[in-house]
Chains A and B, each alone.
Chain A
Amino acid sequence: MGDLIQLIVSGIATGAIYALAALGFTLLWQAAGVINFSQGEFVMLPAFAILLFIALGAPLWLAFLLACVAAMLVLGIGFKWVIVDPLIRHGVIPLVIATLGLSIGLKSTLKAGYSAEAHPFPSPFPGGQFSIADVNISYADIGTLVVAGFVVISLQLFLNRTVTGRAMQAVAQNTDAAKVLGIDVKRMVLYTFLINAVLAAVAALLVTPTYLAKFDMGDAIGQKAFFAAIIGGFNQTRGALLGGVLIGVLENLVGFYVSPAYKEGVALILFLVVIVFRPEGLLGRAEERKV
């Protein structure tokens, strides 16, 4: 029983990190119609940026803040200007291909230009664990949950309670109507890209202590993010949360009770089950296609 609770708690913590990446992915899709296949690299790059700033002498918190700023500039504004803006009018597929190319380009540049090794990454939380009855829970898991939870709740509050947030939701739901209402659509879309960049940087801070900083660390987290987003429902931000946590917990359970070798396959099986029985995702709404 103790094992089970432990696995579920650490699964929720891992799942919360997947959810952060998935959340950014969903927001981009809603606001700008962008499927970003380089989402994993968007997590990998801030991880290396943090390591770079630490090497330059900054403490972890400062390095993280600087990495957030860098991510907003490069992965937010830069990504939008250089890749999304020129491509969005060609439709979804060229943009998907471009982000696939970007993913290969970023990974390979880091591998060829810096290092193919895995680099250790400082944990923002104290080591060790505490015990209640026979359940051991690590401080890192609790810390991850608190930080991820805080980020997700603030984001929800921002989207639901502030004028800007509601305007962003309006743009996501119906761009034309939002424009008619006088909402600055371009600015709202830009905010979405900035939020995505920050979410990726937070995910990097939380995930890299266990994944280690490596050029291809984004593969796994990117894939989990896609599947989490679809499982939960592509057009619902809450869906990304549910999907992420579900994958995190089930992976842990399968890894422990079935076979650690097939842990990575969990997301796919869950995805196939969901699209067979509920194609719009667990929390999603069915979308009508436009003629």
Chain B
Amino acid sequence: MNRTRTFGLVAALIAFAVLPNFLKSYGVYLMTLFCVYLMAIFGLNLTVGYAGQMSLGQAAFLGIGAYQAAIFLKLGWPIFIVLPVAGIVCFIVGLILGFPALRVQHHYLAFATLGFNILVYLVMRNEEKVTGGTFGIPGIPRPSLFGYSLDGALPFFYFTFLSVVVLALFLWWLLRSPWGRAFAALRDNPMRATSLGINITAYTLLAFAIGAACAGVGGVYYAALVQFIEPAPFHFSASLTMLLAVIVGGSGRFFGPVLGTIIVVLLPEWLRFMQNWYLAVFGFAVVALMIWLPGGLLSIPERLRWKGAAK
């Protein structure tokens, strides 16, 4: 990464950190929500962009993290225990779900995760004793950090923001490690990667499980942010939106999820006047994007450069 890009990144981070001070409480809420979804979508990019597998169940993992956080936070567990537990539970569920699906190719993971999401949604809606059914779980307390309360909108925003930065740094490190570079090899040429001794199934499975864990961790922040959870935000259609966020931003590009999350989380708020038409336009825009720009929006600069060079 060169100097100007590093400078731009730092400037963007500072701007993002300062901005909520000038916003009303709903604005701060939205920016926090943006960070929450960004965690899940960063994780999904690992599965989709780097391991080349389709996952249609990210909202289920977000939901598992959120419900579990809701239950444990209400029991008074500290956030430092709830967070890793959510991550580990989703990691393990990811392994169990991914194993049968990834043994066979043909994008079976897409179908397995789709079905899994439907099943998780049914459990959330029907197991009233644990999940509160359609009434959900209200009154989830905000956690505190070393005795410092995160009740306020701003302190909680900074906590979430710092967490997403830490998560991004972790993923950055992961993808730069030899272990992470194997991912790219897998996606670009699975046959060749196998012949070089990379175990496709193991790597893809791990990528998927880590992506699931990211969503689980995001779910904890979701529960603590909204303080009320019900099944609706974890419906299969939310998974679909997250998958499209990865693709629209530019799958397999580190900052693709950031752009994608802006488009699916923040943009609909600005375009409130469009109401239901927003999704209609979004759906057809995805089709158009696939036809003309399959690499996603972040591939535009490359496309332009490539066209310039061709002249």
> What is the interface of chain A, defined by CB distance below 8 A to chain B?
35, 83, 86-87, 90, 92-98, 100-109, 111-113, 116, 219, 223, 226-227, 230, 234, 259, 261-262, 264-265, 267-269, 271-272, 275-276, 279-280, 289, 291
Contact = CB atoms under 8 A, between A and B. Distances in A.
A219 B117 CA distance: 13
Contacts, number: 135
A116 B116 CA distance: 26
A105 B280 contact: yes
A101 B285 contact: yes
A86 B107 contact: no
Nearest to A29: B106
Given A275-B100, A275-B108, A276-B100, A98 B126 contact: no
Nearest to A116: B276
B115 A112 contact: no
Interface string B108-125: 101110111011001001
Interface in B277-294: 277-287, 289-291, 294
Given A35-B107, A272-B112, A94 B294 contact: yes
Nearest to B284: A105
B82 interface: no
What 3 pairs across the A-B complex have the smallest Cβ distances? A105-B283, A101-B286, A268-B115
Contact of A101 (B54, B112, B122, B283): B283
Contact of A92 (B107, B126, B244): B107
Given A98-B291, A275-B108, A104 B286 contact: yes
Given A105-B282, A264-B122, A265-B118, 5 more contacts: A87-B291, A97-B247, A104-B240, A107-B279, A111-B280
Contact of A279 (B103, B114, B122, B275): B103
A259 to B, nearest CB: 8
B177 interface: no
Contacts of A108: 276-280, 282-283
B191 interface: yes
B267 to A, nearest CB: 15
Contacts of B111: 226-227, 230, 271
Contact of A265 (B110, B119, B276): B119
Nearest to B241: A104
B118 A264 contact: yes
A107 to B, nearest CB: 8
16 contacts: A83-B287, A90-B294, A100-B286, A104-B237, A104-B240, A104-B282, A105-B282, A105-B283, A109-B283, A113-B280, A219-B236, A269-B119, A271-B112, A272-B112, A275-B104, A279-B104
A109 B286 CA distance: 14
B105 A289 contact: yes
Contacts of A102: 283-284, 287
Contacts of B236: 219
A35 B110 CA distance: 11
B101 interface: yes
B243 interface: yes
Contacts of B105: 289
Main secondary structure of the interface of B (DSSP, over half): helix
B283 to A, nearest CB: 3
A96 B100 contact: no
Contacts of B277: 108-109, 112-113
Nearest to A105: B283
A247 to B, nearest CB: 11
A279 B54 CA distance: 18
A101 B290 contact: yes
Contacts of A105: 279-284, 286-287
Contacts of A272: 100, 112, 115
Given A108-B276, A230-B108, A268 B119 contact: yes
A237 B289 CA distance: 33
Given A96-B54, A112-B276, A279-B104, A101 B287 contact: yes
A87 B115 CA distance: 26
A94 B276 CA distance: 25
Contacts of A219: 236
Contacts of A95: 290
A89 B255 CA distance: 27
Interface in B236-288: 236-237, 240, 243-244, 247, 275-287
A275 B99 CA distance: 10
